[in-house]
Amino acid sequence: SAVISQKPSRDICQRGTSLTIQCQVDSQVTMMFWYRQQPGQSLTLIATANQGSEATYESGFVIDKFPISRPNLTFSTLTVSNMSPEDSSIYLCSVEGSTKSETQYFGPGTRLLVL
Amino acid sequence: AQSVTQPDIHITVSEGASLELRCNYSYGATPYLFWYVQSPGQGLQLLLKYFSGDTLVQGIKGFEAEFKRSQSSFNLRKPSVHWSDAAEYFCAVGANQAGTALIFGKGTTLSVSS
């Protein structure tokens, strides 16, 4: 199984500012995913990030608001730009498992509160 | 469009009693199905998964789930609940053939009473 860490684990930010969330994996993976979990809600996929290509965004999410970097096979960042209180959520990164298991592993999440 | 429905928002079960959490899915092809658990302040942990083969799947912590194609269901069961099972449970379906990007249900909160 993959071990995933995220930084920061939580943050409180002012509206209009931006926050970059880091996701580090202990093994090389091709596909990484970013999800958002709004308070009391389920997880919604923001985008899929493959190393060496532009991230693919789901409907309702745009690159200007959530730019993603994927510089190598073990690391990715998600930036939440020009934040508003509606961006208060838990942001989770996940990675695909091995081809054989095809299981997705999740990081511990970043709890963001925007005031 | 693919979707996952968890009809029960909140369930309370007595410790030692059996548990069944319902999950229905809508998917145009063979689904890749998952159950995850999220404890307060914790990340998501995979309980079990179904890709193919035996429709009764065993997972960790004594959980099992049964895939019923005719009912488009993937219900999670446990014969005897422990207080430590209190958590949020999410059913998910693979959004593509590789079973990687996931669509989640809204979750069911499980409370365990003594």
Predicted confidence (pLDDT) per residue in A18-76, tens digit: 999 999 999 888 889 999 999 888 899 999 998 888 899 999 999 999 999 999 999 99
Task: Mark yes or no for CB contact B104/A96 under 8 Å.
Answer: no
What is the predicted pLDDT for the residue at A7?
A: 96
Q: Is B93 on the interface with A (CB under 8 A)?
A: no
Choose among A42, A103, A108: nearest Cβ to B104. A42
- Local confidence band at B53 (pLDDT 50, 70, 90 cut-offs): confident
pLDDT score of A103 more than 80 = no
User: CA of B104, closest CA in chain A: separation in Å?
Assistant: 6
Nearest residue on chain B to A33, alpha-carbon basis: B101
Q: Percent of chain B beyond pLDDT 70? A: 95
Q: What is the pLDDT of residue A55?
A: 92
> Nearest residue of B to residue A99 by CA position?
B98
Mean per-residue pLDDT, A2-28? 94
d(CA B102, CA B32): 9
> What integer is the mean pLDDT of B57-61?
94
* A104 touching chain B per CB within 8 A: yes
Cβ <8 Å between A92 and B51:
no
Helical H runs in A18-99?
A: none
pLDDT at B31: 83
Cβ within 8 Å, pair A104-B95: no
Q: Do B100 and A45 touch (CB under 8 A)?
A: no
For residue B106, the SS3 value is: coil
Contact A29, A95 (CB under 8 A): yes
CA distance A10 to chain B (A): 11
Residue A91 near residue A78, CB atoms below 8 Å: yes
Query: Across the interface, do A43 and B104 touch by the CB < 8 Å criterion?
Result: yes
The enclosing H or E element of A88 equals: none
* Mean pLDDT of the region A78-100: 89
pLDDT at A108 over 80: yes
Percent of chain B scored above 90 by pLDDT? 68
pLDDT of residue A100: 52
CB contact under 8 A, B105 and A105: no
* Distance linking the first and last C-alpha atoms of chain B: 41
Mean local confidence (pLDDT), B90-97: 79
Assess whether the previous peptide bond of A8 is cis (omega < 30° from 0): yes
- Please tell me the predicted confidence (pLDDT) of residue B95: 65
Band (pLDDT 50/70/90 cuts) for residue A101 is low
